[in-house]
Amino acid sequence: MTKEPVALAALSDIYEHRYARFLRVAEAIVGDAEVARDVVQEAFVRLIRSRLQFRGEGSVDGWVWRTVVNTARNKRRDASKHGAEDPSVEPTATNGHVVDAGVRALLATLPERQRLVLFLRYYADLDYRAIAEALEIRPGTVGATLNHAHSAMKRLLKEVPQ
C-alpha cells in the first residue's frame, strides 16, 4: 500500500492556519524575528519540494513541525559557525507573555532537547504526542524532558541574584 503524496492545498492550509505558531518556535530557536520568517519560508519550500517523497511514517503535522524545527536548528548552527551573535529578541509565548532577556539567557543554558520541548509546548501549544512526533522521540521522553527542563529552570531562577 503506497501513501498518497501530500497535497499542496493541505500544506497551504497548514501554513495559513499555523504560521504564527511556526514563527514563534522558529524565533525562539534562532533568536531573531526576521531570520525566523526566512526559516518558516525555507521550511515550506522544502516541504513543497519534498511532498512527493513523504512516506507517511507519522502524521503530516509531525513532518511539518520536524521540518520547521530542523530548518531553524540548521540556520542557528550556520549563524554560530559564522560568528553571528544572538540579537536581543523577546519571543512571545502562546499565552501572549513576552519572554524577557534574562529568562532567554537562562533558557539558552538548557540542553537543546529541553529547549526544543519547551518551545514546542509553550510557544506552539503542542501536546506531548505532537512534540514526540516532531522531534522523533517517545511521548514518555517528552514528559521526562519537560520535567527536567522545568526543574532546571526553577533551580536557575532561584540562583538569579535579586
36-82 pLDDT tens trace? 999 999 999 999 999 998 888 889 999 999 999 999 999 999 987 87
The confidence score (pLDDT) of residue 83 equals 66
End-to-end CA distance of the chain: 61
Whether 1 is covered by a domain: the verdict is no
| Residue 26 is assigned to a structural domain of this protein | yes
Domain annotation covers residue 2:
no
Angle at 35 between CA 31 and CA 36, to 5 degrees: 75
Domain around 104: 8-159
Q: What is the pLDDT of residue 159?
A: 83
Full-model pTM: 0.85
Taking a C-beta distance cutoff of 8 angstroms, is the pair 43, 68 a contact?
Answer: yes
Give a yes or no: residue 23 inside a domain. Answer: yes
The verdict on residue 76 lying in a domain is: yes
d(CA 94, CA 86): 22
Q: At what angle do helices 101-108 and 112-122 cross, to 10 degrees?
A: 140
Is position 43 within any domain? yes
pLDDT at 96: 59
pLDDT < 50 regions, the chain: 1, 86-90
Tell me how many domains the chain contains: 1
**64 domain-assigned:** yes
User: Among residues 80, 84, 104, which one has the least CA distance to residue 92?
Assistant: 104
Residue 3 lies in a domain: no
Question: Cell for 36?
Answer: 525566523
The domain that contains 150 carries what CATH number? 1.20.140.160
Instruction: Say if residues 131 and 69 touch (Cβ distance below 8 Å).
Output: no
